[in-house]
Structure 1
Amino acid sequence: MDRQHILDLYEWRPAICFRHPGRGVIDTTVVKTIHPRDDDDREVRACQECVMAMEDMQREAAARSGSDYEPGRVGEASP
């Protein structure tokens, strides 16, 4: 599956990437929701570059463990 097909699996909207705040508002997707005890839930959002880096890490981890890699699931809990 190529880069664009993987990116198309996510829902994108303009926001700040958690790893690249200096880039300002860019297309991002939610990769995690954190639930602070004394505050409202907060979305952790990542840009396309970060999502692809996380996809690569998941693909490599799946290959090492002998499990199947399924793109489009960055941020979901690992089995």
Structure 2
Amino acid sequence: MHRQQILDLYEWADGICFRHPEQGQMPTTIVGVIHPAAECEKPVRGCEDCVIAMEDTRREHARREGEEYEPGHVGVP
């Protein structure tokens, strides 16, 4: 799949990327959830570049493990 096809698998909204907070608001998607002590769970948002990097990591892991890779599941347990 091409970059845009992978990105189209996610729902995007303006937010702050967990790796690039200095860039301010940008299109992000939820890539995880954290559970801080004494607080409600908080979504972790990632930008397009981070999602592509995470998808690349998932693809490589699947290849090494002999598993099938299916894009669109960053942040899904």
User: TM-score scaled by structure 2?
Assistant: 0.95
Which of 27-36 and 41-50 deviates more? 27-36
Structure 1 residue 36, shift from structure 2 partner: 2.1
Name the structure 1 match of 2:6: 6
Name the structure 2 match of 1:26: 26
Which of 32-41 and 22-31 deviates more? 32-41
Runs (4+) of structure 1 exceeding 3 A deviation are: none
Q: Superposed, which structure 2 residues align to 1:30-69 within 5 Å?
A: 30-69=30-69
Structure 1 residue 37, shift from structure 2 partner: 3.1
User: TM-score scaled by structure 1?
Assistant: 0.93
Structure 1 runs not aligned, ≥5 long: none
The percentage of counterpart residues that share the same residue type is 56
CA RMSD of aligned residues (A): 0.8
Structure 1 residue 41, shift from structure 2 partner: 1.4
Distance 1:57 1:34 in 2: 20
Structure 2 runs not aligned, ≥5 long: none
Structure 1 residue 7, shift from structure 2 partner: 0.2
